[in-house]
Structure 1
């Protein structure tokens, strides 16, 4: 179904004019603020017409179409998806589309960050509107030139076509004429049935550069006169710097300086290897500065807080006490997960050059505005005098939402008065960073004599989580009597969002526990969930924040594609979850090999609305599933007196290539606008696997990593 966009009321599209050398530059804003300014595209300055806008579509005289993409690229595919959306409405020739990464500019851009699986949902209509408005202007320009009604013209692959005469004019030839026309008040968007590009599999626009090793990443940044810096941070959470002997290190080859700040010791020199050797030779003494927690302490802390009489109530429906008092059967279980590092392939790094009255920043960050503000605070230089260029990121998973590594680069550059590229080692990444918080959940379910779920309790205890629950997610709204509360422990171990924050483990715990309840009720796990959803639709309890039909849709699709309950020789486990406005259901298939469970296949059904790039979407789901399997099976960061006990991949276990099962991905085509996809496939994975393992072995996995539990104990 097509739709109409009003440009005047939404202010989403602003025609800027012709740029030097010929062509049409079109800006579309993401806010309604107005301000005088200048738009710059590839070094060409263009009068901005006195209106603030933040992303650009340009058509050059040679027909090349460029979109300036503001959001950081961490592998979520926006550098491909953004131009695809524009090209679709524009009817452009995809071979002549290119995308350019924008630098930080919060006068022109809104939401210039990457997190929460929100880039494409946020930009979907704005990008479509830009393409459709450009197409309208090009058609009008062609109509004027050919002296025919615009309604008699069509477009295809960068050409305006007059079928009656057989004449065709390229977009490049029309660009200057189009730039002189007024932008329309309204534009009509394509009907989904007419999409030629959206929904198809398209290669990532950076593939060639990635595969041929072209400079794209923060570690590739180079500036003349640049120094390399590495930092020794306190080796345990709860320690502070007491003293450091720098004399011997300063005398080592290639070392320019050794500086201290904020409990850190930075070694600065001319080459990576020289600096690494010098850093390893540092003689530092630390002293205690707070609690030195060990993993062995956490079991006690969790139990004390789980049994705490008071907690923060997140949601309460009905009479929970009465439901449990009158229950025919009560099921009670606890689930626990450890701290986890983010482990991106590219360790933290950033370039900073602090000058007298300005700062130049370059590197991989999910939150460039936060990074710039941190630099401003450190240097006292106003944010408007700080430039920040974004590089592609070699993974992030939430770690690069933080600005600590940017602040470190700025601090060092300021102290040594030189341009500096700060580099973390893998050991730094695992031992001195931010982690997924450890969490423990206690679940209780009350069943009546017919096996109906009449009561539900969940208490979450998190380490620096704020709220370790998602109180409005399923099965809330489907149970008459429900209590969800949480308790917080403030740990000195630093934590940060980790791919699909909170739900990355909560989904495993909730969906595994629902399988326990279904078993106790004597019901099929899939039917048990569907019955609860039917109840929520017919007689909802309180507010329901999820879409019941969308959740049922992925449940039914996953069960159908996996042949749920119809296969022999494999054991199946089911899971479904809602996060970031999307729904994913999964079926894990396990076979017994020499008495041990082996994961053979995972079926996934996703509902993320309109799929933009089928190739990218499949990869997002497959990557999320592999990530979910690997961390559920193997991931475990432990502490002894505040010090991480795993410091590299020789003792921090990741999933291996031979352990990756076949993954089959399907999408629900429901015609709605895109919702999130970077994170939603990970949360349901652990439970789909664990529930299948239970079917095969009758061993219920309640703690992660699985490798340390039966039936896997002793497996390397």
Structure 2
């Protein structure tokens, strides 16, 4: 960002400035507590009277500031970091800012989505412009009041001061400012002048979280609300045949038992399509009760029979099918540089490996739930969803309503990881409430969540490389996946552009198992496969692992037609930093190190894993992580995000497995599905590259590289190359870990 950058845009552009890209947001804010030091923080902010500034800004006479956060909050800290961007350019004291979750508003807001680590990246500029423009209008109003030129005025923490030393607070000039024209040019701050951005700020909801105040979907309730538990098919490929609800209806607290599913089938049969609708067309039996526990007991008492509607698939079948696809000839070529076939034909040696990963559930801490209240006049929807606009659109179609009568409020989410991109739980809640015309909350149990959800697809990669005269001459990557056509490879990531003969192919098997995006989609396993393969290539070529990557990235810099999405310079930067910070190659005896470097979600990351072997079991002791994500808006939140991604990656890489037998998931809770345990979490050291480049994603990029870093370290310790996840199961030592 250049110093004192001037921006030019219209009033409409200002009003909609945060809606420029998917993942961005409009900030509405009530500018309270910016200038009155005698106002106590404990004041009930909702009771203040506001003067309208414009569609998005209100200012109280007290000068207090509220910034409405519009993007869904799933723990990625956007409810804190995005308002920080506004507050920085608005020039108010962060301690005087109150942040509130905004509802879905497709007229004034845009891109109200949580996914792909895009919120900060895509809203960075619009949010800065919004804050800077608001500040300039307030300054112009103060200048007019004093009869001076606006250039003579300065602002600090919501106090406007003129050359004579006279002061006015934002609250003193809001009415005048609201009537002024939007300035054609505003000046954004120089990065070196930031006072909020780049400083660690605590989660704005932390006090409410640790004291148990209502924030999450499971907390939401209204008077006379009922609860719903849904009995869904126990196997993928089955649909409801018959059911007996007589026992369930006799239980205390059970109000009614109904079926739903007709509206979903009608939607699907109409030919309408919405990517967020991963939901079975089967009828489902719903128990309506006075409490969640009553609903769960009623569901357990139901007696149902199911019939097979499509093939009941098993993990063994998927394994066989994917192997056949990898060895077949029907592929979609995503990228083809040079001539891989010729390079392989002329090679002195060809190295080929197959890497495998299983289905994985998302396992959010908070199971799926949603509130719906359908009346003749409107539809109210409240709860945790990553895609509120898609939810609104589909519910309107399902219920035959005008979209303007469907309202969505977002709660904080107890995790998402991609699961809440898909609104099946919203559509069920809406159909239930529409049937009984009462306010209800649909609540899933942990078992419901794990066995009737949306999963990361099982994937296999076949990677082959040709070597001629001791040089890497060709690289061929094939992906075979279950339902992964929409989530397939990113052909323009590393090593694209680094190897003259380079080809990427994909093939897809269509399954009735619902699959979708999982944390760091596209790359969560691809990085493990490729970076494990490059570690083996470096050994085969007899070259230093780090230098091998640096040389390949130098090839990219020499290639003006590389057609890549990553920066070779920035990838080299994180690689060099992690080598320095991890003490690479100088570990003490008994400590084995593995390296991985990767680009995804617009961010460059390098990681080194240190492991020890204890009774034949690998123990990850430390992970050193170097990140180039541009300007770090909130270092405290960024550190937490980065560490969380590393630990999540280790856990699923090492321990988590999931499969199907005749369409039935083989795990239904954490007693049989292992997440990483406290005793298995290593020390994680995070280091950020400091620069003035606009920020990129951070919620996901630290997860993909860690799998290969661990696998490469285990190879150093054991001499065994790991190609199948989870690693512990495939080293035949799972019982030692779980026992």
- TM-score (ref. length: structure 2): 0.90
Instruction: Give how far 1:539 is off.
Output: 3.3
- Residue 330 of structure 2 corresponds to which residue in structure 1? 310
Is it true that 1:374 corresponds to 2:414 in the alignment? Answer: no
Q: Deviations over 1:194-236 (max 9, x none)?
A: 1111011000111111111111111111111111000010000
Q: Which residue of 1 aligns with 2:702?
A: 681
Distance in structure 2 (CA, Å) of the matches to 1:10 and 1:459: 50
Report if aligned partners of 1:633, 1:704 keep a CA contact under 8 Å in 2. Answer: yes
Distance in 2, matches of 1:200 and 1:87, equals: 13
**1:607 paired residue number:** 628
1:602 is displaced (CA, Å) by 0.6
Q: Secondary structure at the match of 2:80?
A: helix
Matches for 1:671-710 after TM superposition, within 5 Å:
671-710=692-731
- My pick for the range that moved more, 621-630 or 253-262, is 253-262
Change (3 A) 1:692 1:132: same
Q: Which residue of 1 aligns with 2:429?
A: 409
Name the residue aligned to 1:59: 59
Q: Residue by residue, what CA displacement relative to the aligned partner does 1:435-472 show, whole Å, maximum 9, x if unpaired?
A: 0000001010111223x210111110010010532211
**In structure 2, what is the equivalent of residue 480 of structure 1?**
500
Q: Does 1:428 align with 2:448?
A: yes
Q: Which residue of 1 aligns with 2:9?
A: 8
CA distance in 2, matches of 1:547, 1:572: 26
| 1-structure distance, mates of 2:714, 2:596 | 13
- Aligned residue in 2 for 1:124: 124
Segments of structure 1 that go 5 or more residues without pairing to the other structure are 15-26, 33-38
Candidates 627, 638, 653, aligned match of 2:659: 638
Supply the RMSD in Å over aligned alpha carbons: 2.0
Does structure 2 retain, via aligned residues, the 8 Å contact 1:336–1:702?
A: yes
Q: Is the 8 A contact 1:11 1:31 kept in 2?
A: no
Contact in 1 for aligned 2:578/2:607 (Cα 8 Å): yes
Secondary structure of the corresponding residue to residue 475 of structure 1: coil
By how many angstroms is 1:523 displaced? 1.4
Which residue among 310, 315, 320 is the counterpart of 2:340?
320
Deviations 1:225-263 (A, max 9, x none): 111000010000011111001122112111111111232
Moved more, 484-493 or 559-568: 559-568
The SS at the match of 1:551 is: helix
**Alpha-carbon offset, residue 388 of structure 1:** 0.9
Equivalent in the alignment of 1:650: 671
User: 2:223 matched to 1:224?
Assistant: yes
Query: 1-side partners of 2:578 and 2:146: how far apart?
Result: 53
Match for residue 30 of structure 1 among 16, 19, 23? 19
- Cα distance in 1, alignment partners of residues 438 and 287 from structure 2: 13
Mapped pair 1:622 → 2:611: no
Q: Quick check: 1:365 aligned with 2:359?
A: no
Q: For residues 183 and 540 of structure 1, what CA distance do their matches in structure 2 show?
A: 43
1:430, distance to aligned residue in structure 2 (A): 0.2
Unaligned runs of 5+ in 2: 22-27, 31-45, 262-282
Deviating beyond 6 angstroms after TM superposition, the runs of 4 or more aligned structure 1 residues are: 39-49
CA apart distance, 1:275: 1.2
1:702 Cα offset (Å): 0.8
The answer to whether the 8 A contact 1:337-1:704 is kept is yes
TM-score (norm. length: structure 1): 0.93
Q: Partner of 2:610 in structure 1?
A: 589
CA distance in 1, matches of 2:20, 2:241: 49
For residues 314 and 491 of structure 1, what CA distance do their matches in structure 2 show? 22
1:684 aligns to what SS in structure 2? helix
Query: In structure 2, what is the Cα distance between the partners aligned to 1:375 and 1:473?
Result: 37
1:580 paired residue number: 601
Distance 2:383 2:565 in 1: 38
Aligned to 2:373: 353
Q: Is the 8 A contact 1:706 1:712 kept in 2?
A: no
In 2, distance between residues paired with 1:40 and 1:537?
Answer: 45
In structure 1, how many angstroms separate the alpha carbons of the residues matched to 2:302 and 2:482?
A: 32
Asked if the contact 1:575/1:688 (under 8 Å) is kept, the reply is yes
| Preserved CA contact (<8 Å) 2:11 2:181 | no
Greater Cα offset, 694-703 or 564-573: 564-573
- The reply to whether residue 185 of structure 1 matches residue 205 of structure 2 is no
**Cα shift at 1:589:** 0.8
Aligned partner of 2:73 in structure 1 is 73
CA offsets 1:155-197 (integer angstroms, 9 cap, x no match): 22222234x6444433223333433433211000000011111
Secondary structure of the 1:13 match is: helix
Q: 1:459 aligns with which of 465, 478, 484?
A: 478
Q: Give the match for residue 235 of structure 1.
A: 234
Q: CA deviation at 1:665?
A: 0.7
CA shift, 1:90, in A, is 1.8
Q: Deviations over 1:71-113 (max 9, x none)?
A: 1111111111122111111221111111221111111111111
User: Conserved in 1, the CA contact under 8 Å of 2:228 and 2:441?
Assistant: yes
Alpha-carbon separation, structure 2, partners of 1:2 and 1:13: 21
CA contact (8 A) 2:374 2:437 kept: yes
| Shift, 1:697, TM fit | 1.4
What's the counterpart of residue 24 of structure 1? Answer: none
